[in-house]
Structure 1
Amino acid sequence: MKKILLLNPYTSTSDHIQPPLGLAYLAASLRKNGFKVVLVDANKERAGVKQVLKIISQNNPDFIGVQFYSQNYDDIKQLLLQVKLNFPQIITIVGGPHPSALPGEILKEFGKLIDFAFCGEAELGLPKLLKNIASPKHFKSIAGLIFRKENKIIVNPPYFSPDLDQFDYPAWDLIKPQNYPPSQHGAFFKNFPITPIITTRGCPFGCNFCSAGVNSGTLLRTRSVNNVVTEIKDLYTRYRIREFHIVDDNFTLAKTYAEKMLSAIINLKLKASFAVPNGVRLDTLDDELLFLMKQAGFYLISVGIESGSDRILKKMNKHITVDKIKEKLLLIKKHKLDVAGFFILGYPGETEEEINKTIAFSLNLGLLRANFFLFQPLPGTQVAKKFPKNSLKIDYGKLSFTKPSFSNHISSTRLKNLQKQAFLRFYLRPKILISNLVRVRKPLQVLFLFKRVCHWLF
């Protein structure tokens, strides 16, 4: 039986440690197709290159599959270099947001360090590749595969299956979600253990700063309500999960589906809490949905606000206005749900006056929490594509929400200072500070909070 080691690499630039759901789905699909799978979350274990090489030596896999985010570019290159030096016989495969965004460049840039790559979803394609690894004539029929043929790089179009129920549940037994830290999406939570789940895939909105459509398609696809509910019950009983994070691109996009899902969760009568930490679109929310979310055990609604300027919102292609944002936030508060808002500072063409307007806007929305991200020109986004060729040279290894990685007309030093001001002005208000501190549930949260403050401010 052929063996594959799936690796979530160590990320020194992020303080979030959460189960690698995408790899868990791949693991389930590979096992279903007869492959032995070892899943290594080096980020959770804080395992650097030396430790990963030791794990590889101990497991002796035939293949290694690496989850590739753009921010990990330099680290992954160093890792794969060492893998090829120490284990030249192992076939290396990468997938994830970066190769999905730049499918034509990934094999050129990494040369012989990467044998194959995938763009889009790979639950169907990866098992097919491994089965036909000795038969290159079949490569052209594998959706999303990026491979070499006669010194040319071939990129097969990705396929986003409309039937999500065909995929087995993530290989939770390999992940052991109950062993993950509680602060997966930040310092605050209501119950523990926590795990992420996905109910839908795809996003049709096309915000200019977001690459979600590249990764999971622009057509919304849903799992059946029964399929999701069965997984929730299993996680609740087998792994004693007590908080579920729905990490869809937009859980509330299809109202009828969301209402059915929420009603089914209510009928489970679990002693569990729910949140949507990745955010939902404000313009999808209404009284009926929010009422059901409250009844189902949701306690926190995260929303992408992005800017307090209608001009910038239009440049972002957000399809929402400042007035509509205010209206929807009042609606959420009416249902006594806490709200966390996401903002982007330093968007191309944004003035310092508009940044200050956004900061002031954040203080008057009734938010419990806010996160102020520095703009990143992420590969695959419309805003990155719109730059004239050669005018934007992206150093992928330096992409960061906390350090300016884009040369705007506002200096990097000034932009970082504006981000610091935003956080301090928001959280040092007595009411907000106290409201958040009383939600600290474990002593370790204090340490995590301190580290998180240092991570974002310095």
Structure 2
Amino acid sequence: MLVTLVNPPALVARFNYSTLSHPPIGIAYIASFLRARGHSVRVVDAIGAGMEIFEPVRETPGFLMQGLPFDQVVRAIDPSSRIIGFSCMFTHSWPVVRRLVTLAREKFPNAVLVAGGEHATAMAELCLSEAPLDCCVLGEGEMTVAELADAIEAGRGMCDVSGIIFRSSDTGGIVRTKERKRISPIDSIPWPAWDLVTPHVYRLYEGPSTGPTMPMVASRGCPFKCSFCSSFAMWKKRWEARDPAGIVDEMEEYARRFGTREFQFFDISPFVDRDWAEVLCREIIGRGLDVSWQVPAGVRVDLIGKEMAWLLARSGFGHIEYAF
């Protein structure tokens, strides 16, 4: 069965030309997981395919839309797609996603339209009420989307798929299924399917850069529950890290395959486990990797000591931002 995953155009402030768009690593992870389950996957990366395209947004005069125009995005979706999934990470981009979903529904009336991501998780009922979506995926998406695809391919309903909220075809009402447990260990998730995306067109670096850049994830979740952060809605309070050796294996593969010299780790709360972080640094040092790496989300001040700072510097950590 064919699943098409859509990275929608970005909404950026009109005069903020420092805004950086990032390769859709979440979509790339879900694509690789679906493939492992036997499904066919295509990705429509509206930003990557239209990086230099900026258009005014009528509904929001202070903003521009970066990426392919709506009609080109819809035309790029394979009409044989049984499921069309839309990434909706940020609340400010919801008007763009809502319009895209509406156009997709008009062209593909029989497809199952799904949204996932931080905003779709935190505001699922609103998304279903404002757009012709069939379903929102709540939280971590790989297993949920795979089981949703399995159910639709088998002709089953959505009631038995954990971790979603959907519109009932019988009553038209909203149904929330039972909460899904997080995937563990996260090393069981295949590496992202970067062959379906063009990460090299993105300008990733937010500090000093040493060359071609790739996004990665070394851990998921956060044990804290800050009032300003959406992490709890998406990941709850469990932090889990990958095996350091596996992380560096992936870094080495990207260095060999893409010539990558810079790595951006999009972890929500890196270095929660200081011992794990030191092992990761020593693994990079021990392999002699001539790379630079960063964590754009920032690092808690209380998690960096003298020994940790020394290891970070030796392992190529080139830029640090402190979070509180």
TM-score interval for Structure 1 and Structure 2 normalised by the shorter chain = 0.7 to 0.9
Query: d(CA) in 1 for partners of 2:111 and 2:155?
Result: 17
User: Within 5 A, what are the aligned runs for 1:49-128?
Assistant: 49-56=70-77, 60-68=80-88, 69-110=90-131, 113-128=132-147
Note if 1:28 corresponds to 2:48: no
Note if 1:168 corresponds to 2:187: no
Q: Residue 247 of structure 1: CA displacement?
A: 1.3
- Measured at CA, do residues 271 and 185 of structure 1 come closer, stay the same or move farther in structure 2, by a change above 3 Å? closer
Partner of 1:316: none
1:277 pairs with one of 292, 296, 299: 296
- How many residue pairs align between the two structures? 298
Check conservation: 1:18, 1:180, Cα contact below 8 A. no
SS at match of 1:168: coil
- Measured at CA, do residues 136 and 119 of structure 1 come closer, stay the same or move farther in structure 2, by a change above 3 Å? farther
- Measured at CA, do residues 132 and 167 of structure 1 come closer, stay the same or move farther in structure 2, by a change above 3 Å? same
SS at match of 1:23: helix
Check conservation: 1:93, 1:114, Cα contact below 8 A. yes
Check conservation: 1:180, 1:193, Cα contact below 8 A. no
Check conservation: 1:101, 1:215, Cα contact below 8 A. yes
Greater than 6 Å deviation, 4+ residue runs: none
Check conservation: 2:23, 2:202, Cα contact below 8 A. no
1:19 pairs with one of 23, 42, 61: 23
Partner of 2:231: 212
Percent sequence identity over matched residues? 28
Q: Residue 137 of structure 1: CA displacement?
A: 5.8
Query: d(CA) in 1 for partners of 2:134 and 2:42?
Result: 19
Note if 1:194 corresponds to 2:208: no
Q: Which amino acid aligns with 1:201?
A: R
SS at match of 1:6: strand
Check conservation: 1:249, 1:280, Cα contact below 8 A. no
SS at match of 1:93: strand
Query: Deviations along 1:297-353, whole A, 9 cap, x unmatched?
Result: 011101225xxxxxxxxxxxxxxxxxxxxxxxxxxxxxxxxxxxxxxxxxxxxxxxx
2:278 pairs with one of 236, 243, 259: 259
1:131 pairs with one of 150, 153, 159: 150
Q: Residue 136 of structure 1: CA displacement?
A: 7.2
Query: Deviations along 1:183-218, whole A, 9 cap, x unmatched?
Result: x254x4321211111111111211111111212221
Q: Residue 89 of structure 1: CA displacement?
A: 2.1
Query: d(CA) in 2 for partners of 1:230 and 1:257?
Result: 16
Higher relative helix content: 1
Query: Deviations along 1:235-280, whole A, 9 cap, x unmatched?
Result: 1111111100111112111111111111101112122111111111
Query: d(CA) in 1 for partners of 2:208 and 2:38?
Result: 38
Q: Which amino acid aligns with 2:209?
A: K
TM-score (norm 1): 0.62
SS at match of 1:105: helix
User: Within 5 A, what are the aligned runs for 1:25-424?
Assistant: 25-44=29-48, 45=50, 46-56=67-77, 60-68=80-88, 69-110=90-131, 113-133=132-152, 139-149=158-168, 150-156=171-177, 157-177=179-199, 179-182=200-203, 184-186=204-206, 188-305=207-324
Higher relative CO (Cα under 8 Å, sequence separation at least 6) belongs to 2
Q: Residue 50 of structure 1: CA displacement?
A: 1.3
Which structure 2 segments of 5+ residues have no match? 14-18, 51-66
SS at match of 1:104: helix
SS at match of 1:229: helix
Query: d(CA) in 2 for partners of 1:141 and 1:261?
Result: 39
Partner of 1:320: none
Check conservation: 1:65, 1:94, Cα contact below 8 A. yes
Partner of 1:6: 5
Between stretches 144-153 and 209-218, larger displacement belongs to 144-153
Q: Which amino acid aligns with 2:191?
A: Y
Which structure 1 segments of 5+ residues have no match? 306-458
Check conservation: 1:201, 1:217, Cα contact below 8 A. no
Check conservation: 1:120, 1:159, Cα contact below 8 A. no
Query: d(CA) in 1 for partners of 2:173 and 2:81?
Result: 28
SS at match of 2:38: coil
Query: d(CA) in 1 for partners of 2:33 and 2:153?
Result: 20
- Measured at CA, do residues 180 and 134 of structure 1 come closer, stay the same or move farther in structure 2, by a change above 3 Å? closer
Query: Computing the radius of gyration over CA atoms, which structure comes out larger, 1 or 2?
Result: 1
Query: Deviations along 1:418-444, whole A, 9 cap, x unmatched?
Result: xxxxxxxxxxxxxxxxxxxxxxxxxxx
SS at match of 1:271: coil
